[in-house]
Amino acid sequence: MSRIMKVRDLMVPVEEYPVIYENVAVAEAISELRSSFHEKDGTWYGFQSLLVLDRKDRLVGILTLRSLLKAFKIQALYDHLLKGDPSGLMFIKPFSNSLEITVKDIMRPLKLVTVQQNSSILEAVQIICRKKVNSLPVMDRNRLVGIVRTMDLFWSVGELMES
């Protein structure tokens, strides 16, 4: 028996996902992600990523925990550039202040890695493995309709095997 499961059967619909604007500072993004993803009684639960909107409320990216690691990298680069360079002092305010790193600098752009909602689960798994991501935007042609995660796919594969 074949069981025809599509990506849209497993995804989290876009309406249920928390969002953030691309021009928001890293510190604010952190606190947004904290409120959606938090620890209670010793276990973590919630969403590990946020959808990113531009000024016109269009979806432009996805902000994951890994994206936040990039903020450390940018910060280290700024620190390195400014170290021991007197002329760097002129730019120290805009660059050395970590508030200046915004969501846009560290997010994963939406068009980079996506899957169509009618794709099979197999295709989604392949993309996740090949592109090394854990949250995969699901599209209906050009429109974002949801997010499917490694965890959702893993669960479904496990169910198939045990049935």
Partner 1 sequence: MNSVKTAEDIMVSIGDYGTIPETATVFEAIKALRQSFHRDGKAWYGHRTVVVLDSRGKLTGILTLRGLLRAAGFRELDEDKGLKAESWGWYYTSQLREEMGIKVRDIMRPIELATVKSDTPVTEVAQALLRYGVNSLPVFRANELVGIVRTLDVFMVIDEYFK
Cβ of residue 56: shortest distance to partner 1, in angstroms?
A: 27
81 is an interface residue for partner 1 by CB under 8 A: no
Q: 13 phi and psi, to 5 degrees? A: -60, 145
- Integer Rg of the chain from CA: 19
Query: Of 75 and 114, which has the nearer Cβ to partner 1?
Result: 75
Q: What is the residue type of 113?
A: V
Residue closer to partner 1 by CB (options 37, 88) is 37
Choices 50-58, 80-88, 109-117, 145-153; region in contact with partner 1 by CB under 8 A: 145-153
Mode of pairing for the β-strands spanning 135-140 and 108-109: unpaired
Segment holding 33, helix H or strand E: helix 26-36
How big is the CA angle at 17 (ends 122 and 110), to the nearest 5 degrees?
60
Residues that bind partner 1 (CB under 8 A): 1-5, 12, 16, 25-27, 30-31, 33-34, 37, 39, 43-47, 65-66, 68-73, 75-76, 98-99, 101, 119-123, 125-126, 128-129, 132, 134, 149-155, 157-158, 160-162
